[in-house]
Structure 1
Amino acid sequence: MQTIRTLTLIVATLTSGLLAGVYYAYATSVMPALNQADPRAAVDVMQRINAVIVNPMFMLTFLGAPLVTVGAVALLLGKDSRAVLVWVAVAAGLNVVATIVTFSLNIPLNDQLDAVGDPNLLTDPAAVWQDFSSWTNWNIVRAVLHTAAFGASTWALVLLGRTTD
């Protein structure tokens, strides 16, 4: 059973780290580059990104981070490793909050951007891009949350390793 707990926590840590990295990359490169592009091109590229990011690999990571981290909490309940449980619970909470941010803020903004239709037909693409711009702030929030979850679950792994030595 200890092996299952450890493997679950490893997967939770990896998925948290992968999401932190994706959102960090958006914050530090993708969105700044799109903000420097022609607004019509930025709308077009972001619409394309919204379409291709919904793929099995990303969805496994996106849904896996909160689900597997919560699963790791469940596997640790009632065990002697209270310190490990606390850090995994923190990681789970951070992952869940980041997922809520995505569903309640980022995805609706993506849907709003997709709803404008063909960027070549927009009369004011700059206004459309400006309306979408708060997406970046919420992306940074979820990057910070998943990074903190990655750190918390990494520390939980360290503590778990100490309890099994």
Structure 2
Amino acid sequence: MTYPITNIALIVAALGSGLLAGVYFAFSTFIMQAFARLTVDEGIAAMQSINTTIVRSPFIVLFLLTAALSIFIAVVAILYWRGGTSMLMLTGAALYLVASLLSTMVFNVPLNDALDKVDGRAAEAAPFWSAYLSDWTRWNHVRTVASLLAACAFVRALF
């Protein structure tokens, strides 16, 4: 699009999606594996600490800003339809909003909420932790790929 505000939104959304993809990638490829190597109570405590810290960090600002920009980009794409460019804008916005933001809220956050209630020393902790690691990481893979593809679509829409 030739509108400067739209270009700025696309650039910031691409950077946000890309940064988030990097965070998710790190969790999927080595952080969760490292937690799995800890004792059950240590792994649970580490993830509980991250879950508490992340909502008070710049991560959440980036996460929500990228969502807001994705909504803006989708609205602009529809209101000022320009064929392939608008399609790329909508694709990036949908990937981020549905496969990254929505999957986080529907899958990862409820898993984190359930983990928050677990005592790592309790008898039921080990099977819960094993299932948590598998389920949380599977949905994190979705967020990783979706955020990366969203970043690609936003960048491509600029050109």
TM-score by length of 1: 0.87
Residue 140 of structure 1 pairs with residue 124 of structure 2: no
Q: Which residue number corresponds to residue 33 of structure 2?
A: 32
Answer with 149-158 or 1-10: which moved more: 1-10
Instruction: Give aligned pairs, total.
Output: 156
Q: Which residue number corresponds to residue 163 of structure 1?
A: none
Q: CA deviation at 1:7?
A: 0.6
Q: CA deviation at 1:17?
A: 0.7
Cα separation, partners in 2 of 1:156 and 1:115, compared to 1, 3 Å: same
| Percent pairwise identity | 33
Residue 107 of structure 1 pairs with residue 109 of structure 2: yes
Q: Distance in 1 between matches of 2:41 and 2:5?
A: 49
Q: Which residue number corresponds to residue 130 of structure 1?
A: 130
Regions of 4+ moved over 4 Å: none
Could you tell me which runs of 5 or more consecutive residues in structure 2 were left unpaired when the two chains were aligned. none
Answer with 14-23 or 65-74: which moved more: 65-74
Q: CA deviation at 1:56?
A: 4.7
Letter in 2 for 1:71: F
Q: Distance in 1 between matches of 2:50 and 2:81?
A: 45
Could you tell me which runs of 5 or more consecutive residues in structure 1 were left unpaired when the two chains were aligned. 159-165
Q: Distance in 1 between matches of 2:118 and 2:79?
A: 51
The question of whether the paired residues in 1 share the 8 Å contact of 2:77 and 2:87 is answered with no
Q: Which residue number corresponds to residue 42 of structure 1?
A: 43
TM-score by length of 2: 0.90
Q: Distance in 2 between matches of 1:107 and 1:79?
A: 35
Q: Distance in 1 between matches of 2:59 and 2:141?
A: 18
Q: Distance in 1 between matches of 2:92 and 2:24?
A: 17
Greater C-alpha Rg: 1
